[in-house]
Amino acid sequence: MTDTLLEIDRLSVDYETARGDLKALRDISFDVRKGEIVGIVGESGCGKSTLISSILRLTAPNTRFRQGEVRFKGEDLLQLPERKMRDLRGADISIVFQDPMQTHNPVLSIGQQMLDIQHRSKASKADKRARAAQMLGAVGIPDPEARLAQFPHEFSGGMRQRIAIAMALMSEPDLLIADEPTTALDATLEVQIIERLQELQQEFDCAILFISHHLGVIAELCDRVVVMYAGAVIESGDVREIFHDPKHPYTRRLIDCDPGHIKERARVLPTIPGEVPDLANLPGGCIFRDRCDQAMPRCAAEVPPLAQLKEGHHAACWLNHKEAAE
Amino acid sequence: MLLYALRRFGLALLILIVAVTVMFLMIRAVPGDPVQIMLGPRATPELQARLTAELALDQPVWKQLVIFYGNLLQGDLGIDVFSGRSVTDIVFQQLPHTLWLILGSIIWSATLGIGLGAYAAAHPNTLIDRVTAAISVSFVAAPAFVVALLSLLVFAVHLQWFPAIGAGEGFWDRLNHLVLPAFAIGLSWVGYIARLVRASMLEVMGESHIRTARAFGINERRVVMVYALRIAILPVVTVIGVGMGFLLSSAVFAEIVFARPGLGKLVIDSITTRNYPIVMGSVLISTGLFVVSTALADLINAWLDPRARTAN
């Protein structure tokens, strides 16, 4: 038995639509080990959200799991009955969502919501309240006891996100999924939240699956990175490897486009030209081909496999194969 | 909350004053000498002069208004010209009939409407949802007076399940008399409320906080009944508050068709006879009812939704 906590194994997910099946995720494989922070990077629409809702099985009704497994502690979540799945949610696996302004129920007090999510605990109401206040204190909300009576709209965005983190960590989960937790916040708050998350991760010793399109944050926080493009993993590996020696043209372009990496003053920020391909009507071959300036005839003919280049570094690009040079 | 309630009722009072003043001026603008119409062509000039003085119709309009408000503050709505009875008495004698009719209609239509709507929203695009939609739309499309006449014909005349006319005596008899009129004016509300609840519920169920609640494994019934319905119900409360006004006007039909005593019938009768004091009195009470019900709806919303309480 390894110390692997979550294994996504060849997962493919479609959305049934009027235009035909939208291939939202294709053949996704990666894993998260105990106590590790794994980052997932990619543009909007690359399937990050589908991936996390698939892990929690909180998917839209038109979602179809076509193949693959989502193993958590060795058990395939896609096969679990709904009741057992619900036992995991908010207990072993918790999640912090993207938009802190929308994430809490607007008509229930924070205290009420924090009591509700302790529905599995047998503790008395007073104990649960104390626990809620303690968690608010742990994420740096001043005067937590009094603030339990307040409603979400009485908190700022940064505070609401910290409350969301407090709620997610309250059950001391093994896996915390953070879905772009800082995207909706301004830069100074982002740093605070990230630092707080790091501290809490040490304290609670949970693994974090951190989804972001902010490369700086990923580099700061994560041990490993998975780069996604149009519903597929195109590169994954150790965070230092990926940032210093990216092996996929998309990853390289993504790093070039990160404002933190731009050295010279420019009037126009660099972008990756072209658009993400239509997921309902995928072209054959490499999905990045149309936007890639190094595309070769082979890229149109065959899908490049996610190949291991060295220990802990995978990429899906024909450029990394010997034949490319010839 | 208390501050909000005070402010809301202050506003209600202001609306009431404006509405009553406008009504007062409008009724004065109707052509024809009211005294002549009230007393008929054969009345003596002395009698006409006495009534004119009694109703203060010889005074300028602003002075009439001042007198009217002066009396109103003492709970005096004037004297009915024909019977000589106090208008306040007459109006408050009729008021309960209308009030029960409206409450009865709202209660059954809201209960059924919210139930249907929530059920349809929980099973969107299923057969049940479609059937509910078809029923709702046809209910909305049925005018109250048509439903009143048809139900009178079918349930009172042919089947003889319910009494056709009057308001009845004693609790059970009154309730029995209430069934058909309340059915008639409530029917279109069932459809309306069901559509509203369904739309509102579907919108709320798609919001992120519902996903959060589910992500914490909170059981689905609590998610629907507490986390979603409490928000989805807000527009429905507002609509019901405003709907009291519409029900007041549909009550007029029901009261005429079923020959029920009530405010609506009183107003119609007194307008045709130009009985100013009664018209003013009943309009005042109806307006008051409407203003109070909308204010109550806002208060209920403020109680359900903390955001409304603190808004400016």
* Mean pLDDT of the A98-112 span: 91
pLDDT-derived band at A2, boundaries 50, 70, 90:
low
Q: In 3D, which of A241, A14, A207, A253 has the Cα closest to residue A94?
A: A207
Compute the radius of gyration of chain B from its Cα atoms: 24
Other Cβ atoms within 10 Å of A244 Cβ, number: 9
Residue B41 has pLDDT above 80, yes or no: no
Residue of chain B with shortest Cα separation from A165? B212
Does residue B151 form part of some domain? yes
CATH of domain A4-92+174-325: 3.40.50.300
B307: which chain A residues are within 8 Å (Cβ-Cβ)?
Answer: 106-107, 151, 153
The answer to whether A106 contacts B230, with C-beta atoms less than 8 Å apart, is no
Does residue B39 form part of some domain? no
* Mean pLDDT of the B101-125 span: 89
Range of the structural domain that residue B272 is part of: 89-310
* Mean pLDDT of the B190-202 span: 91
Angstrom CA distances, A291 to A23, A143, A150, A153, A247, stand at 19, 52, 50, 43, 16
- Look at residue B6 and give its three-state secondary structure: helix
pLDDT-derived band at A312, boundaries 50, 70, 90:
confident
Q: Give the pLDDT confidence of B49-89 residue by residue, as tens digits.
A: 888 887 777 888 888 888 888 888 888 877 777 777 888 88
A58, A88, A164: residue with CB nearest B211? A58
Does residue B7 form part of some domain? no
Residue A154 has pLDDT above 70, yes or no: yes
The answer to whether A97 contacts B305, with C-beta atoms less than 8 Å apart, is no
pLDDT-derived band at B312, boundaries 50, 70, 90:
very low
Expressed in percent and rounded to 5, the helix, strand and coil fractions of chain B are 80, 0, 20
Q: Give the pLDDT confidence of A30-55 residue by residue, as tens digits.
A: 999 998 999 999 887 788 889 998 99
pLDDT-derived band at A280, boundaries 50, 70, 90:
confident
- The reply to whether B237 touches chain A by the CB within 8 Å rule is no
The answer to whether A103 contacts B212, with C-beta atoms less than 8 Å apart, is yes
CB A29 within 8 A of CB A70: no
CB A229 within 8 A of CB A287: yes
Q: Give the pLDDT confidence of A124-145 residue by residue, as tens digits.
A: 999 999 999 999 998 888 999 9
Residue of chain B with shortest Cα separation from A167? B216
The answer to whether A154 contacts B208, with C-beta atoms less than 8 Å apart, is no
- In what helix (H) or strand (E) does residue B301 lie, and over which residues does it extend? helix B276-304
Token digits of residue B2: 């208390």
pLDDT-derived band at A326, boundaries 50, 70, 90:
very low
Q: Give the pLDDT confidence of B247-297 residue by residue, as tens digits.
A: 888 888 888 888 888 888 888 888 887 777 788 888 888 888 888 888 999
The answer to whether B218 contacts A167, with C-beta atoms less than 8 Å apart, is no
pLDDT of residue A1: 44
Q: Give percent of chain A above pLDDT 90.
A: 43
Number of domains present in the structure of chain B: 1
Does residue B269 form part of some domain? yes
The answer to whether A106 contacts B231, with C-beta atoms less than 8 Å apart, is yes
A102: which chain B residues are within 8 Å (Cβ-Cβ)?
Answer: 207-209
- The reply to whether B123 touches chain A by the CB within 8 Å rule is no
Does residue B227 form part of some domain? yes
B217: which chain A residues are within 8 Å (Cβ-Cβ)?
Answer: 86-91, 117, 119-120
Q: Give the pLDDT confidence of B179-195 residue by residue, as tens digits.
A: 888 888 888 899 999 99
pLDDT of residue A324: 52
Token digits of residue A314: 């995978």
Other Cβ atoms within 10 Å of B250 Cβ, number: 26
Distance (Å) from the alpha carbon of B1 to chain A's nearest alpha carbon: 14
Does residue B66 form part of some domain? no
DSSP state of A68: E
The answer to whether A119 contacts B306, with C-beta atoms less than 8 Å apart, is no
Does residue B209 form part of some domain? yes
Q: Give the pLDDT confidence of B141-189 residue by residue, as tens digits.
A: 888 888 888 888 888 788 888 777 777 777 787 888 888 888 888 888 9
Q: In 3D, which of B161, B240, B143, B169 has the Cα closest to residue B200?
A: B240
Predicted interface score ipTM higher than 0.90: no
CA distance linking residue B226 with residue A142, whole number of Å = 29
Residue of chain A with shortest Cα separation from B219? A86
DSSP A45-58: TSSHHHHHHHHHT-
CB A10 within 8 A of CB A67: yes
CA distance linking residue B75 with residue A224, whole number of Å = 80
B226: which chain A residues are within 8 Å (Cβ-Cβ)?
Answer: 108
* Mean pLDDT of the A215-240 span: 91
Residue A237 has pLDDT above 50, yes or no: yes
Does residue B133 form part of some domain? yes
CATH number of the structural domain spanning residue B183: 1.10.3720.10
* Mean pLDDT of the A149-159 span: 90
Please provide residue B177's backbone torsions phi and psi, each rounded to the nearest 5 degrees: -70, -20
Listed in sequence order, the residues at least 6 apart from A234 whose beta carbon sits closer than 8 Å to its beta carbon are A227, A228, A248, A250, A251, A287, A288, A306, A315, A316, A317
Residue A208 has pLDDT above 90, yes or no: yes
CA distance linking residue B31 with residue B39, whole number of Å = 16
Mean pLDDT of chain B: 85
Residue of chain B with shortest Cα separation from A119? B218
Residue of chain A with shortest Cα separation from B301? A107
B207: which chain A residues are within 8 Å (Cβ-Cβ)?
Answer: 102
Question: Across A48-57, A188-197, A268-277, which has the greatest mean pLDDT?
Answer: A48-57
- The reply to whether A292 touches chain B by the CB within 8 Å rule is no
The answer to whether B227 contacts A105, with C-beta atoms less than 8 Å apart, is yes
Residues paired with A25 in a beta bridge: A13
- In what helix (H) or strand (E) does residue A76 lie, and over which residues does it extend? strand A75-76
Mean pLDDT of chain A: 87
**HSE of B157, CA atoms in CB hemisphere, 13 A:** 9
- The reply to whether B311 touches chain A by the CB within 8 Å rule is no
Residue with token string 């794994």: A38
Distance (Å) from the alpha carbon of B131 to chain A's nearest alpha carbon: 21
pLDDT-derived band at A118, boundaries 50, 70, 90:
very high
pLDDT-derived band at A146, boundaries 50, 70, 90:
very high
Q: Choose the weakest-confidence range: A21-30, A248-257, A273-282.
A: A273-282
Please provide residue A304's backbone torsions phi and psi, each rounded to the nearest 5 degrees: -70, 130
Size of interface A-B (CB pairs under 8 A): 72
Distance (Å) from the alpha carbon of B129 to chain A's nearest alpha carbon: 16
| B7 vs B309, more confident | B7
Backbone dihedral region for residue A143 (phi beyond 0: left; psi -120 to 50: alpha; all else: beta): left
CA distance linking residue A318 with residue A82, whole number of Å = 41
| All structural domains of chain A with their residue ranges | 4-92+174-325, 106-170
Best of A103, A107, A161 to disrupt the B interface (most B CBs within 10 Å) is: A107
A120: which chain B residues are within 8 Å (Cβ-Cβ)?
Answer: 217
Q: What is the model's pTM?
A: 0.79
Q: Give the pLDDT confidence of A69-96 residue by residue, as tens digits.
A: 999 998 899 999 988 999 899 889 999 9
Residue B35 has pLDDT above 90, yes or no: no
Q: Give the pLDDT confidence of B87-109 residue by residue, as tens digits.
A: 888 888 888 888 889 999 999 99
Q: Give the pLDDT confidence of A9-19 residue by residue, as tens digits.
A: 999 999 998 88
A49: which chain B residues are within 8 Å (Cβ-Cβ)?
Answer: none
CB A141 within 8 A of CB A147: yes
A108: which chain B residues are within 8 Å (Cβ-Cβ)?
Answer: 226-227, 230
Which residues 98-137 of chain A have a CB within 8 Å of chain B? 99, 102-109, 116-117, 119-120
Residues paired with A37 in a beta bridge: A208
Best of B209, B220, B227, B305 to disrupt the A interface (most A CBs within 10 Å) is: B209
- The reply to whether A209 touches chain B by the CB within 8 Å rule is no
Which residues 174-213 of chain B have a CB within 8 Å of chain A? 207-209, 211-213
Listed in sequence order, the residues at least 6 apart from B173 whose beta carbon sits closer than 8 Å to its beta carbon are none
- The reply to whether A90 touches chain B by the CB within 8 Å rule is yes
